[in-house]
Chain A
Amino acid sequence: MILSRRAALGLLATAPAIAPMAANAETFAGRYAYDPQAIGPGLWLVRGADEAIAFGNGGAIANAAILACPEGGAVLFDCGPSLRYAQGLAALAEKLCHGPVRRVFLSHLHPDHALGTAAFDPAIVAALPATRRELERDGNGFADAMYRILADWMRGTAVALPAATVVPGPIEVGGRRLTALALHGHSDGDLVLVDEASGTLLAGDLVFHDRAPATPDADLAAWRQSLDALLALPHRQLVPGHGPFDPTGTAAIAQTRDWLDWLEPALDQAVTQGLDMTEAGMLPIPERFATMKMARYELQRSVAHFYAGIEARRLPRIDGTG
């Protein structure tokens, strides 16, 4: 019998036959710390670390938002990487909002935002249809990778597909009025919400702020169009998927756009100059991105995501048959 690490940890948690061993095992001491930042009426930002997913941060690298419902209870926008994180986030939200979590919106498929859905009744978890499809495709692979890196932080976490579908347009949850937009570019399904009471754009990973954008499922042309759409959208302030709150509402959009506008031609030029992937990963990063954390890391990831495709377009055929 071959057991994945995930299945093995699950067995430890549930199988009575080995409970005595588990009882004698060391208890995992990791605790997530939440530092909710009030950014509007009944609205809190819970920041993720501006780092890569690592054991040291428990995978809590993505931002989440908590919105209080006028009729009591809470709405969450994203719910972190693990069951443990999402349970803590829900407890925080219930305390801040004096009532249960009524609805969890998923911005997109990536595990640092989405695997926390394991903590909720799927009926209250809502996502775009594209996000659900992508989670069906990639969710288990993500979970395996997260268990490998995060081990006990992930205990009990399994992919829980959202059962509710977000329809673009106005949404009301417990009297909190939101507008949903279905965009894409960072992934196939990027959900954006605008909170009417505070004028806050909850941008998900379409917008990064002082933290370099990640591109594993990106369509850069579509991403740029979505950023244009966000700029045109009336709002006063912005919560990015990663990085600090943007009180201007536009600076983080412009910075994300600037990075994408630099990245794509830089990689294209690297290919046409004959650079290899290792060399492209060491390209100088312009001074104006000095405030961006994880810039070198995300550049090297983006090289891995795009380089072979650019080579296939830009290098000439030499076998005499093309």
Chain B
Amino acid sequence: MWANHAAWLLGKAPVRFDPAVIVTMPDVTENQHVFPVTVDARALPKVQRIVVLMDLNPLPVAIDYQPEGALAYVSLRIKLDQRTPVRALVLTADGIWHVAGRWVDAAGGGCSAPPVSRVKGDWAQHLGEMRGRLWPQADQTRLRVTVRHPMDTGYVDNIAAYNIESLRLRGAAGQALGTMTINGSVSEDPAFTLLLPPGLGGPVQVHMADSNGRTFDGTLAP
């Protein structure tokens, strides 16, 4: 699968398996619907994109993140439909893809079981509720944002695909801080950690859009 994915995702661009990309995941897959992954590519210069790929998932790409004014770092939670390699593909300005990851064991059904809020039936009451904060630190500004969304994959009986498709961050002066394309293999109620440069006290505007055309806006502050 890797050769196939690499061909359509990366084309003829040079690819390097690179320990400078640090992918952190728990040792145990306690919940294949909500599996946390952190990608830290801050050791690489001029990162243009970070793609999180699960080779054997029916929705193989979770996110494609362009950290325009942000540091090359992202934490997210993904769904796993079976045992699969989980990788980060990091594109630097010189056109080289830097790849790292490992096999993750998981039971089946992460993409083909209904989300908890569909089972409880309360997803619509909480759709788009956003939470989050900024934490100014010495060498970075830490940002966390969560949003309530069922993130339906389309692989569950009679529930069409319905997911957050994009996230955009803007600074107080309107400057682009980061843009992310998001797919249904990101967990229900997505939660992201991103790192911004230090000294950015906020506020930061976060804008998301889903596949039904709904938009969700929030203002992050320390």
Contact = CB atoms under 8 A, between A and B. Distances in A.
Interface size class of chain A, counting residues whose CB lies under 8 Å from the partner chain: 20 to 34
Interface stretch (A86-94, A171-179, A250-258, A294-302): A294-302
A303 B26 contact: yes
A273 interface: yes
B5 interface: no
B168 interface: no
Nearest to B143: A274
Interface in B20-36: 24-28, 30-31, 34, 36
A311 interface: yes
Nearest to B203: A318
B107 A322 contact: no
B197 interface: no
Given A274-B144, A296-B27, A319 B129 contact: yes
A273 B36 CA distance: 17
Contacts of A148: 107
A317 B220 CA distance: 9
B27 A317 contact: no
Contact of A278 (B31, B37, B135, B221): B37
B36 A277 contact: yes
B147 to A, nearest CB: 8
Interface in A192-236: 216
Nearest to A280: B36
A227 B131 CA distance: 35
A28 to B, nearest CB: 22
Contacts of B193: 274-276
A305 B193 CA distance: 19
Given A276-B144, A296-B27, A297-B28, A281 B131 contact: no
A278 B25 contact: yes
B131 A312 contact: yes
Contact of B142 (A274, A278, A308): A274
A308 B189 contact: yes
A282 B26 CA distance: 8
B217 interface: yes
Nearest to B36: A277
B36 A281 contact: yes
Contacts of B107: 144-145, 148
Interface in A38-53: 52
Interface of B: 24-28, 30-31, 34, 36-38, 75, 77, 107, 128-133, 135, 142, 144-146, 189, 191, 193, 206, 216-221
Given A148-B107, A275-B193, A277-B36, 20 more contacts: A274-B144, A276-B36, A277-B75, A278-B75, A281-B36, A282-B24, A301-B30, A304-B30, A311-B131, A315-B131, A315-B133, A316-B131, A316-B133, A317-B130, A317-B131, A318-B133, A318-B206, A318-B218, A318-B219, A319-B217
Interface of A: 52, 144-145, 148, 216, 273-279, 281-282, 296-297, 300-301, 303-305, 308, 311-312, 315-322
13 contacts: A148-B107, A278-B37, A278-B38, A279-B75, A281-B36, A300-B28, A303-B26, A305-B30, A311-B146, A312-B131, A315-B132, A317-B129, A318-B206
